[in-house]
Amino acid sequence: MFAQQSDITTVPTITSAHAWTFFVVFGSFAAIILLAGLIELIRTRSALPLYCLLGSVLCNPVEPIWDALGKLRFHKGNIVAWTQFRDLPVPIEYPWWALFVYTFFTGVTFYVFFQIFRRGTTWKLFWWCVAGQAVMNFVLEGYIITSAYDYYGEQPWRIGSDFPLWWVFANFGELLGGALLVLAVRQFGRRAYPLAIILIPASFAGWELWAGWPVYAAINSDAGAVVQNLAAVVTAALALGTLYVVGRGVTATPRVARTELSAGTATSEV
């Protein structure tokens, strides 16, 4: 679990075929998600999936902030959508495939968590959601998409793959956002659905800073491996403590909206 050094002097390069494969495969996933959102809109007149899709897209201008602080670099050869932080030694050349991945990584996961929490969840199911998000994050970044980028410099908890495991604890914003939308819907009903557009990027960014700041500070200073690993422990503790609070909130008995009818009183959850 000690901090490990990755070469910063040479940025790896992927082949053109590799870059286009990522573009086509993940672009297809994004297209399927868009199509599913349109079908849901026609079928149920609910625009929530499309709001989630839009919110996921808005995460992408924020992501390079954490790439710079967390020392992530996209490899040369990627099909670049735009560049941020041009004055840094390692500018963030943001690829199209990353934007496509976010439609699932934040948009779909936010929607799934919202639906689970809205229907009512148990303490056990909540932690299964936490575990599922962590495993998905590790598999995705540790083995599926990591061939197109890497984490440079010293990184704590780089175990089993190039993906430093402390990042898992910085990536629960979608779960927080889903819980917040549940609270809003309990108050305002479906009128709260458009909040997903803002909640997704805001909870994504908020959680990254809330839980990740100890490691961001440590790996961007002259702190040694011991301090960096302690910072990772603090990040994990902040994440788990916050998840405990969120879990207590979504597993509590929901407030119920009562609709008075002329024939009597009916009770229904919003």
How high is the pLDDT of residue 7? Answer: 54
Q: In this structure, what are the phi and psi dihedrals at residue 69, rounded to the nearest 5 degrees?
A: -70, -35
Contact 110, 56 (CB under 8 A): yes
Quickly list H helices, 13-151.
Answer: 16-44, 48-58, 63-70, 96-102, 109-118, 123-139
Domain span holding position 77: 4-268
Tens of pLDDT, residues 210-238: 999 999 999 999 989 999 999 999 999 99
Tens of pLDDT, residues 78-122: 999 999 998 887 789 999 999 999 999 999 999 999 999 998 889
How high is the pLDDT of residue 257? Answer: 41
Tens of pLDDT, residues 16-66: 999 999 999 999 999 999 999 999 999 999 999 999 999 999 999 999 999
Tens of pLDDT, residues 160-199: 788 999 999 999 999 999 999 999 999 999 999 999 999 9
Higher pLDDT, 202 or 119: 202
Question: Is 6 a residue whose pLDDT tops 70?
Answer: no
**What letters, b where the CB count within 10 A reaches 16 and e where it falls short, cover 221-237?**
eebeeebbbebbbbbbe
CA dihedral (233, 207, 133, 253) in degrees, to 10, reads: 110
| Backbone conformation region of residue 105, classed left if phi is above 0, alpha if psi is from -120 to 50, else beta | alpha
Number of compact structural domains in the chain? 1
